[in-house]
Chain A
Amino acid sequence: MYNLKDLANTVLSSAEIREQFPVLGISVNGRPLVYLDNGATSQKPKCVIDSLAKYYNEQNANIHRGVHTLSQEATSLFESTRSSLKRFLNAEHEHEIIFTSGTTQGINLVAHSFGKAFINKGDEVIISALEHHSNIVPWQMMCEDKGAVLRVIPMNNAGELDLSVLASMLSNKTKIIAITHVSNALGTINPVEEIIALAKQYKIPVLIDGAQAVQHQQVDVRKLDCDFYVFSAHKMFGPTGVGVLYGKEKWLNAMPPYMGGGDMIKTVTFEKTEYNELPHKFEAGTPNIADVIAFGESIRFMEEIGFDTIRIREEELLQYATQKLSEIDGLRIFGTAAKKTGVISFNIEGLHPYDVGTILDQLGIAVRTGHHCTQPIMDYYRIPGTVRASFAFYNTMEEVDVLSAGIKKAIKMLKR
Chain B
Amino acid sequence: MSIKDKESEIVEEFAMFEDWDGKYEYLIDLGKDLPAISAEYKTDDYKIKGCQSQVWLHAELIGGRVRFTADSDAIITKGIIALLVRVFDDETPDAIAEADLQFINEIGLAQHLSPTRSNGLLSMIKQMKMYAIAFKVQNT
Closest to A359 in B: B24
Partner of A352, one of B25, B29, B53: B53
A residues 344-365 with Cβ under 8 Å of B? Answer: 351-352, 354-355, 358-359, 361-362
The listed residue with most B CB atoms (<10 A of its CB), out of A351, A352, A354, A414, is: A354
Contacts of A362 in B (CB 8 A): 20-21, 24, 112
A414 and B75: CB pair below 8 A?
yes
Contact A413 B74 (CB under 8 A): no
For window 338-390 of A, CB contacts with B under 8 Å fall at: 351-352, 354-355, 358-359, 361-362, 369-370, 384-385
Q: Are B28 and A354 in contact (CB under 8 A)?
A: no
Q: Say yes or no for B76: interface residue by CB 8 A criterion.
A: yes
Tell whether, in the assembled complex, residue B25 and residue A416 are in contact, meaning their CB atoms are under 8 Å apart. yes
Tell me the bound Cα distance from A385 to B25 in angstroms: 23
CA distance A283 to B74 in the complex (A): 45
Q: With a CB–CB cut-off of 8 A, which chain A residues contact B54?
A: 384
Contact of A354 with B76 in the complex, beta carbons under 8 Å? yes
Identify A354's interface contact among B21, B24, B52, B111, CB under 8 A: B52
The total number of A-B Cβ pairs within 8 Å is 44
Of A29, A361, A384, A416, the residue contacting B28 (CB under 8 A) is: A416
Assembled-state Cα–Cα distance A358/B79 (Å):
13
Q: How far is the CA of A354 from the CA of B118 in the complex (A)?
A: 9
Asked if A413 meets B77 with Cβ closer than 8 Å, knowing A352-B53, A354-B52, A385-B52, the reply is no
Q: Which residues of B33-52 are within 8 A (CB) of A?
A: 52
Q: Which residue of A lies closest to B21 (CB)?
A: A413
Q: Select which of B25, B52, B119 is within 8 A of A370 by beta carbon.
A: B52
Q: B72 — nearest CB in chain A belongs to which residue?
A: A352
Closest to A358 in B: B76
Bound CA–CA A362/B19 (angstroms): 11
Contact residues in B for A370 (Cβ distance below 8 Å): 52, 118
Check if B73 is an interface residue, CB within 8 A of chain A.
yes
What are the interface flags for B107-139 relative to A under an 8 Å C-beta threshold, 1 for contact and 0 otherwise? 000011000001100000000000000000000
Q: CB distance A384 to B53 under 8 Å?
A: yes
* B75, chain A: closest CB distance, angstroms: 5
- A414–B73 touching, CB < 8 Å: no
Q: Of residues 43 to 85 in B, which have CB atoms within 8 Å of A's CB atoms?
A: 52-54, 73-77
Question: Nearest-CB distance from B71 to chain A (Å)?
Answer: 12
Interface string of B75-115 (1 = CB under 8 A from A): 11100000000000000000000000000000000011000
The 0/1 profile, CB within 8 Å of A marked 1, for residues 1-21 of chain B is: 000000000000000000011
Residues 403-416 of chain A, each 1 if its beta carbon lies under 8 Å from chain B, else 0: 00000000001101
A354 neighbours in B (Cβ, 8 Å):
52-53, 74, 76-77, 119
> B74 and A352: CB pair below 8 A?
yes
**B73 lies within 8 A of A352 (CB):** yes
Is there contact, CB below 8 Å, between B25 and A413? yes
Q: Please, how many angstroms separate the alpha-carbon atoms of A358 and B20 in the complex? A: 12
Contacts of A352 in B (CB 8 A): 53, 73-75, 77
Bound state CA distance, A414 and B54, in angstroms? 17
Shortest C-beta distance, B99 to chain A (Å), equals 26
Taking CB atoms, residues of chain B closer than 8 Å to A29 are 20, 111
Chain A residue with the shortest CB-CB distance to B54: A384
Question: Shortest CB–CB separation between residue B115 and chain A, in angstroms?
Answer: 15
Instruction: Tell me whether B74 and A355 are in contact (CB under 8 A).
Output: yes
Complex: how many Å from CA A84 to CA B53?
A: 44
- Give the Cβ gap from A30 to chain B, nearest Cβ, in Å: 9
What distance in Å separates the Cβ of B127 from its nearest Cβ neighbour in chain A? 18
Alpha-carbon gap, A361 to B117, bound state (A): 12
A residues near B20, Cβ cutoff 8 Å: 29, 362
- Are B73 and A413 in touch, CB under 8 angstroms? no
Q: Which of A355, A361, A369, A385 contacts B75 (CB 8 A)?
A: A355
Q: How far is the CA of A370 from the CA of B111 in the complex (A)?
A: 20
Q: Report the Cα distance A384→B112, complex, angstroms.
A: 21
In the complex, chain A residues whose CB is within 8 Å of the CB of B53:
352, 354-355, 384
A147 to B20, CA, bound (A): 55
Expressed in whole angstroms, the Cα–Cα distance for A151 and B77 within the complex equals: 37
Shortest distance between the CB of A389 and any CB in chain B (Å): 17
Q: State the Cβ distance, B22 to closest chain A Cβ, in Å.
A: 10
- On whether A358 and B112 interact (CB within 8 A), knowing A384-B53, A385-B52, the answer reads yes
Tell me if A384 and B73 are in contact (CB < 8 A). Answer: yes
Interface residues of A, Cβ cutoff 8 Å to B = 29, 351-352, 354-355, 358-359, 361-362, 369-370, 384-385, 413-414, 416
Shortest 4 CB-CB contacts between residues of A and residues of B: A352-B74, A354-B74, A354-B53, A354-B52
A-B contact pairs, 28 of them (CB 8 A): A29-B20, A29-B111, A351-B75, A352-B53, A352-B73, A352-B74, A352-B77, A354-B52, A354-B53, A354-B74, A354-B119, A355-B53, A355-B74, A358-B76, A358-B112, A359-B24, A362-B21, A362-B24, A362-B112, A384-B53, A384-B54, A384-B73, A413-B25, A413-B28, A414-B75, A414-B76, A416-B25, A416-B29
Given A29-B111, A370-B52, 11 extra CB contacts under 8 A: A352-B75, A354-B53, A354-B74, A355-B76, A361-B112, A362-B20, A362-B112, A384-B53, A384-B54, A385-B52, A414-B75
